[in-house]
Structure 1
């Protein structure tokens, strides 16, 4: 897989994790979003119910901006 600037990103060894808790927390494919920390700081995000589907790949800067926005409430619903 490659991202915008042509950087090749290998997802074959990715370890996908979910932020879920409770009884189903350790069951793959039962959560909406899974994240994997990839080579060179890239971060992969996928739909846990469709693990063979598409993956969003964020650069380290994009991921930092996204997580800062989450912490600041930028995506909270009114």
Structure 2
């Protein structure tokens, strides 16, 4: 199976998805899954059959570090 951006998230299986950013939003969350090749898949929890975005570990690390540093604060202001 070719893993690529936009592929159906359900093609990656149902096990191993986590909601690391769950909050008081009624269950509408982002889910992430570490893939066997080291990539990280991200999907919308309310649409588990929808598209998955595939990131490298370095991309996820940069995103998390940037969010911690306040670089994404403009999204909530």
TM above 0.5: yes
Pairwise CA RMSD: 2.4
SS at match of 1:62: helix
The TM-score with structure 1 as length reference comes to 0.67
Q: What residue in structure 2 maps to residue 53 of structure 1?
A: 50
**SS state of the match for residue 39, structure 1?**
coil
* SS of aligned partner of 1:17: coil
Q: Distance in 2 between matches of 1:76 and 1:3?
A: 29
Count of paired positions: 67
Correspondent of 2:71 among 69, 74, 78: 74
Q: Compare relative contact order (CA 8 Å, sep 6+) and give the higher one, 1 or 2.
A: 2
Unaligned runs of 5+ in 2: 6-10
Runs (4+) off by over 4 Å: none
CA-CA distance at 1:33 after TM superposition: 0.8
Name the TM-score, length of structure 2 as normaliser: 0.68
Contact 1:14 1:38 in 2 (8 A): no
Q: Which has the higher helix share?
A: 2
